Amino acid sequence: MSAAELGFVHRFRPGTIAGATPLLLLHGTGGNEEDLLSLGEALAPGAPLLSPRGKVLENGMPRFFRRLAEGVFDLEDLRVQARELADFVAAARNVYDLGETPPIAVGYSNGANIAGALLLLHPGSLSGALLLRPMVPLVPEPLPALNGVPVLIAAGRHDPIVPASQPRALADLLGSAGADVTLHGSNAAHGLTREDLEAGERWMHSVAAHRG
């Protein structure tokens, strides 16, 4: 399979540090494969970056799965799109020779929600996740065994889109599945701030140190 056959429009930037864990960058509604490249570079300098564009359009804006209304997800489509994204990740790891360790997802808003769905539905596809402004995407039965997979949830205390209860509920859900979850609240709304970047950098460093 070639890069052109992977099924998602995407950008790939090779790493410059041997053995660095790749990042899977997942944009928010209306974003694209370029949006989070600079964030990925800041969070994990030298890591390979894999950044797909969501295939679902909402009023012309790319997303990773459909929703029925603000905060109301199309769960059937979510499952389909999560499977396709998991397949993309698996194929891209082979095409780009990304090594034995699955990527760490860095997702913002809708991208954070599809990353959460990957953890819950296809846990082997990720080795960690930084979820920026996420909600609970779905509650699978049964829960997966996440076996200590590190997850940072970065919530905004003044977020008008994500109800305050959602990041805590997601932390509890992933924790119940065995993930090693850190919940960080910043003095922010839905947009990202310097505080989010600093929290993400600290978390990435701790994950890298733990893996040795």
Tokens 């599945």 -> residue: 177
> Amino acid identity, residue 12?
F
Q: 110-121 and 165-176 helices cross at what angle (nearest 10)?
A: 20
Query: Is 109 one of the annotated active-site residues of the chain?
Result: yes
Query: Is 77 one of the annotated active-site residues of the chain?
Result: no
31 is written with which tokens?
């974003």
**Element of type H or E holding 37:** helix 37-43
Which has the closest alpha carbon to 37: 108, 123, 122? 108
Select which of 35, 51, 127, 159 is catalytic.
159
- Cβ distance 136 to 173 under 8 Å? yes
Select which of 74, 77, 180, 190 is catalytic.
190
Query: Is 159 one of the annotated active-site residues of the chain?
Result: yes
- Cβ distance 108 to 188 under 8 Å? no
Q: What sign does the dihedral 180-183-189-195 (CA atoms) show?
A: negative
- Cβ distance 43 to 72 under 8 Å? no
Select which of 10, 27, 51, 109 is catalytic.
109
DSSP code, position 147:
T
**Strands annotated E in 59-124:** 61-63, 67-69, 72-73, 104-108
Q: Which residues are catalytic?
A: 109, 159, 190
